[in-house]
Amino acid sequence: MWGKIRISFILIELFVIHKIAMLDNSLIYKILNFKIINIPLDKAFMNQTVLLIFLLAVIFLIIKAYVKKNIFAVQLVGVLISVFIALFFINDKLSFSIFLSAAGLMLIISIIEDSYSMAYLDELTGIPSRRALREDLLKLGTKYVIAMVDIDFFKKFNDKYGHDVGDDVLKLVASNLTQVTGGGKAFRYGGEEFTILFPGKSINDALPHLESLREQISKAAYTKKSTKGQKSKGKSTNSSKLFVTISIGVCEKSSKFKQPQDVIKGADKALYRAKKKGRNCVSK
């Protein structure tokens, strides 16, 4: 859906540019050479109107990169700066070609990286997504362990503190999951559920690392700031610390669980047993 909207905007932009190009040349010349501020830029390689549009684009991308932590926006700033420098050396064929080529190369790399992120990284947590998990499952050998991880009572937590806090907690848990030791790799499976792969490991190899991870997450505090409503009512403005725990079900490839999907089902059953035991534990 979002891809179709983007394409629609690009087509509209091309249509508008075409219509502008069909206007009277003298009008376009007046617009492009309009002096915004009275400073001597007559010898500049770029008139004030174009320079202003260029600067606004750079500022917009910098703000977007800062607010949304968008790496693609940072890369686009680099592309624009390279194009700007290339135009500065427009009469020097070698320098112009070098900087313009650099801009094109950065743009290609940025598009590839952005496409990879959209396809294989979870948008909320930034860790590998379920699609990445499916591909990694195809690469597993004859010995591996799969662990299914679930945040305990997450629905109640979400209902009590709101979806924004819930999203932040998902990010916190995901960040800790990426620190798993023992050669494990974490993926977001869906909702509050995650998966960890241990290629080339046995269940006895993985268990100590999963126990350590479970304990680490149980001690990881999320700092919840007081809301404006609480402050206006005279309540304490001190931030409160929230904690969550996880339950883990683990299963390894064996004669009973031959395929990766079988191992996942086995790990799911073990996860159910962990919840039956009272949660905040690892079960096999």
Active site residues: 192
What is the DSSP secondary structure assignment for residue 46, as one 8-state letter?
A: S
Phi, psi of 144 (to 5 degrees): -165, 165
Chain centroid, CA 16 distance in Å: 33
| DSSP characters over 226-267 | PPHHHHHTT---S-EEE---EEEEEEE--SSS-SHHHHHHHH
Give the integer Cα–Cα distance in Å for 243 and 261.
Answer: 32
* Packing angle, helices 71-88 and 93-120, rounded to 10: 170
- List, in sequence order, the alpha helices (H) in 69-92: 71-88
